[in-house]
Amino acid sequence: MSPSGVSVGAWVAFAQFAGPVLLVMLVIGLAAGILQTATQIREASIPFVLKLAGVAALTTAAGPLMMGGMEQYAIRLLAAIPALVHG
């Protein structure tokens, strides 16, 4: 693994780990905002609680899959350390 491969692998692992969480929070926040606008309810805790519940459900359901990418990146990185150090 080259130094650029380490960087690309880190970004891919980050996207696999944080992407689903950010997407769920975006969808829930948008839906809650539309619902609050339609009903004219201005309560800040409603989207917060919905996002918290959504992220908790996502982490419970897909946590092992999201951590799988991080695990594979860590394994490849640890195996590549000698080649990176000795060039």
The residue whose two tokens read 């799988």 is 68
Tokens representing residue 20 in the block: 């689903």
Contact 1, 83 (CB under 8 A): yes
Which tokens hold the place of 13?
A: 């692992």
Range of the domain at 50: 3-86
Q: What is the largest CA-CA distance in the chain?
A: 63
Give the global pTM: 0.77
User: What amino acid is encoded at 41 in this protein?
Assistant: I
Q: Which of 17, 50, 14 is nearest to 32 (CA)?
A: 50
The 3-state DSSP class for residue 40 equals coil
Q: What is the pLDDT of residues 74-83, one digit of tens each?
A: 898 898 888 8
**Tally of domains in the chain:** 1
Highest average pLDDT, of 24-28, 61-65, 75-79, comes from 24-28
